[in-house]
Amino acid sequence: MSSQAASNYTSYLKVDDLLSLQQPLSEGPEHDELLFIVIHQTYELWFKELIHELAAAQEALESGDTSRALAILGRIRTILKVCVAQVDILETMTPLQFNAFRERLGQASGFQSAQFREVEAILGRRDVRAAAPLLPADRARVEGWMSRRSLWDSVLVYVDREGYAIPEEILQRDVAQAYEPSEAVQDALVQLHRGDAAAALVCERLVDIDEGLQEWRYRHVKMVERTIGRKSGTGGSSGADYLRSTLFHPVFPDLWAIRSEF
């Protein structure tokens, strides 16, 4: 009998291995530390899936496959909604409950999530300082994404393929540098919305994703504020103050700029 035929739910999903990975460090252990670990490990799994889906979305866009792009972008939007919903669970933990085990985190911090930095890089972030706190191998991976086309660069290729001309200097720009909003791109997007309903829906899925990421950041800020107030975060971060500074920075500014054109 083949190993594939012999597999079952537990062996296929490596359930025993998965359930061995939650190891609270507090004495007792404190009741809420398990929740904290499960939530953040789950986030890392969703970040892994987001990286997988974002890369596939880029391939679909650059090949002009509108149907596949729509399906994948819709999935990404839904995953972000799940990430936001998990904050509701974290917020069932009071400040006293969190502080009962917080010191056990040591220098561990969400700032050290290499996968979230990868997601940001795929979406267009080009700030190498974001990778500075990471381990060398993780930092190299994030910087690798920063040297490739972002999701937005793939969108520009798609828009151009659909017949709505993007200036050559933008298509051929140095993708390792941060993208700057462009009136020429915005003009092409307005024409696309008026002339191609399916492609316009791709753009609306991107707005959904942008809004979802901004919602996740906002909920994250409020969760941190209600849990630790204005204390410094773990790992030497500035906590809520830093997180607040990330709010209201759209990932796809050109798509927001054209809202008033319709």
Amino acid 1: pLDDT? 44
Assess if residue 144 is contained within a domain. Answer: no
Amino acid at 181: P
Left if phi > 0, otherwise alpha if psi is -120 to 50, otherwise beta: which for 14? left
For the chain, give the mean pLDDT: 91
H or E segment to which residue 11 belongs:
helix 9-12
In a domain, 72, yes or no: yes
Residue 103, both tokens: 């010191």
Q: Is residue 125 part of a domain?
A: no
CATH number at residue 232: 1.20.58.480
Give the residue among 151, 160, 207 at the shortest CA–CA distance from 184. Answer: 160
Q: What is the pLDDT of residues 169-190, one digit of tens each?
A: 999 999 999 999 999 999 999 9
Domain contains 115: no
In a domain, 176, yes or no: yes
For residue 140, which amino acid is it?
Answer: A
The whole domain housing 191 covers 28-107+151-261
* 83 inside domain: yes
- On whether residue 50 sits in a domain, the answer given is yes
pLDDT tens readout for residues 7-29: 899 999 999 999 999 999 999 99
Instruction: Give the lowest-confidence range in 67-71, 205-209, 240-244.
Output: 240-244
Threshold 0.85, pTM exceeds: yes
Average pLDDT rounded to a whole number, residues 70-78 = 98
pLDDT digits (tens, 9 = 90+) for 76-118: 999 999 999 999 999 999 999 999 998 888 766 667 899 999 9
| Count of structural domains, the chain | 1
74 lies in a domain? yes
